[in-house]
Structure 1
Amino acid sequence: MKINEKEVFRLLISSYNPTVLGDVLIMVTGQATNAEQNVATNGDVTRLTKKDNNELVGVNLFNASQYVHDLKGNGQILLTESQIAEVNAAVKKAGFDFEVPFDNQPKFVIGHVETLVEHPDSDHLHIAQVDLGTEKLQIVCGAPNVGAGQKVVVAKIGAMMPDGKIIWPGKLRGVESYGMICSAHELGLPNAPQRHGILVLDAASQTGAPFDFAGDYSANY
């Protein structure tokens, strides 16, 4: 089963970094390059939409702490339902007629690699079918240590990696991929090795559970 496209774009990726960007709350709701976007600003709200279909892909809220309570962070943040209500009140006050969706689904989860086959057009890529408990995703992976039966960390569509990269659906050499199987280094874990290879978790790890970044995984490196 592949991820539903409507679900892909009913997500919210929020980031707040006042030290670097000032008091600006950045919210991404879809994928589009700068050239594919229309930009409109009313007051403290900037709306970004796709040029071809007017789909909402992003919202920037300036002077954000004046509108949203308890706004803290230094990178990706998860907005509460009440904070989203405050964001939408600011959007309405600015004269826009859209709403920012509430999204509290974990984006880094434990997956079980059910099957793994070679990519038909690559000598190092593999195509994995990964069970996440409530859904199964096809993910193309190039790690040399990936194998069927493993418990792994999956960055789902809408995950923001520690380096700021956002995971979107894509194709690798013509094969669709709906997430990323992560290494300890990509997850920003302490003392993660620099070598190429995914983080393989203990077999007892619960499929579908949110990944705990605060855990000690050094024994799995």
Structure 2
Amino acid sequence: MMQVLPIQTSATTTECPPTGKLIVLTGPSGVGKGTLMRSLLQRHPQLYYSVSVTTRSPRPGEIDGKNYYFINRSKFEQLVAQGEFLEWAEFAGNYYGTPRETVVNQIQSGKLVVLEIELEGARQIRASFPNALSIFILPPSFEELEKRIRGRGQDSEESISRRLVRAKAEIAAADEFDIQIVNDDFEMALAAIEAAIFE
């Protein structure tokens, strides 16, 4: 059952309006979630994208407040203690979380809200939003996923090894989600996501 914010008073507000919906996009690191999400938002500006909070450093070209909200660990832990996150997880030595209040307000106002999050966070969302549409993005093969991660040139060998070990466990969880889409052909994968959201 959705947790309603204290400002809501009517018992009927515990249910989302028919048009409001939460869409969760997840999959292993390097599978192309971010690229698919950017194209989806360009094509459908009516979608509300929830910007995550993270303790990791910005990558080249990333903008605070657009790609992520970048904060330090102590501030993140303070927000966790205050119950400010809809979900949060630690991944590759950094925290990631979804701000609760904005997402709940947007859904209750009838918006389609999309999240691009890691597996652990996606599981937390399913527990609190059982009606959310969950989409798992798969690589064409594990070998292709490794090639993509290495091709980014952003991670140390140790970090790549950790990501690959974690990716195997994440791929094994794909069946937990409503829809699985293989990101082999980018346009076909994007079209499949659109079909799932707007059917």
What is the TM-score with the length of structure 2 in the denominator? 0.27
Higher strand fraction (1 or 2): 1
What is the TM-score with the length of structure 1 in the denominator? 0.25
Higher relative contact order (CA 8 A, sep 6+): 2
